[in-house]
Amino acid sequence: MEPWTARPTGPGNAMNCDPGGQSLTRWPVSSLSEPLILAAATFGFLGPRGTFTEVALRNTVDDADPGGRLRSFIPYGSMQETIEAVSMGEVDCAIVPIENSIEGSVSATVDILVHEVDNLQIVREVRIPVRHCLIARPGVTLDQITKVVSHPHANAQCRGWLRRNLPGREVEAANSTANAVERVAMSDKPWGAIGNELAAREYGCVILEADIEDHKDNETRFVFLARQRERQDWFEPYKTSLVCEIVKDQPGALLLILQEFSFRHINLTKVESRPSKRRLGEYLFVIDVEGKADEGPLADALRCLCCKLPRLTVLGSYPVGKPPRLASR
């Protein structure tokens, strides 16, 4: 099961050309009566247990399906292993972080989807608020903390709070916020970890201070991945994620892509350049646009881009994630 990657079909009118009648979204489409993530029985997520990825998963999917069948949530040790698990069929779906409002794109996720797998589609996105806590073993107080352990992003997102409340304390990097809490739980030293409430419960620790992040609007966007397309007829706004490769680096190369969307009044929600991994200074563009890939003006724009670009890949066309303040409504 491979996605169709567009190849140029020769010169022509960029606004009206047709890539030989081929479909940009040559994928099996779900025929289920419910979204793919609700039908899935097994999920892979970036572990260990207690990560924000697990929080996003549990906020979206219940432990059991409507029929009472228990779902399986399986942690993996890296982004690569998590994505490969769904690609190889070990799990039905996987969830991985793809963008943070403070730190930007999660490059590991983007690069794997762009360069290393060719049988997956993004089927849904979710957005959750990032609420950091200072966590320690029971009995340790704030003034006893000698070291703070967490993922570098979490440390950076709480830098101001740490400077004001734990000045001069050593800050040490961990593989993830959950790994930091696990390390603190196993240590006999008065260390603190930056993590979330789920991790504190998972490893038998306590929260010394909650909401210590410097930016209260901090949120992360996660995507669910599956080996087929989500249905395109849910009554929700959709987003389509694309990979566009230019012929060569020259003035107006990006404009050549963007004008197809501008002409049709299609809104772009993200434009990002990523290294092509072939030579220095050569890039691909990852673009998120509003709309369904195979309907209306967007489908027309994509057909025209096929004539212009050496590569046009649809990473997924899926329902848009609601901001955290709206998701619970």
Using CA atoms, how far apart are residues 292 and 252, in angstroms rounded to an integer? Answer: 26
Residue 212 pLDDT = 96
Q: What is the mean pLDDT of the chain?
A: 86
| Residue 328 scores a pLDDT above 60 | no
d(CA 264, CA 314): 19
Q: How far is residue 203's CA from residue 50's CA, in Å, rounded to a whole number? A: 8
Look up residue 6 and give its DSSP letter. Answer: B
56 with 220: CB under 8 angstroms? yes
For the entire predicted model, the pTM comes to 0.85
Tokens of 271: 């434009």
Q: What is the pLDDT of residue 5?
A: 41
Would the pLDDT of 132 be above 80? yes
pLDDT, average across residues 195-202: 96
The string of pLDDT tens digits covering residues 289-310 is 999 998 889 999 999 998 888 8
* Calpha distance 20→221 (Å, rounded): 36
Is the CB of residue 180 less than 8 Å from the CB of residue 150? yes
How far is 275 from 241, CA to CA, in rounded Å?
17
Domains assigned to the chain: 36-129+220-327 (3.40.190.10), 133-210 (3.40.190.10)
Nearest CA to 45 out of 65, 35, 60 is that of 60
- What is the spatial distance between Cα 23 and Cα 4, in angstroms, rounded to a whole number? 7
d(CA 272, CA 255): 14
Q: How far apart are CA 275 and CA 169, in angstroms?
A: 37
Question: Average pLDDT for residues 253-273, to the nearest whole number?
Answer: 92
Residue 251 C-beta-side C-alpha neighbours within 13 Å: 0
**Could you give the CA distance from residue 36 to residue 30 in angstroms, rounded to a whole number?**
7
Beta bridge partners of 317: 240
Residues 19-55 have pLDDT tens digits of 443 455 556 777 777 888 888 999 999 989 999 999 9
Pairing of strands 72-76, 42-46: parallel
Question: What single-letter amino acid sits at 132?
Answer: H
Partnered with residue 319 across adjacent β-strands are 238
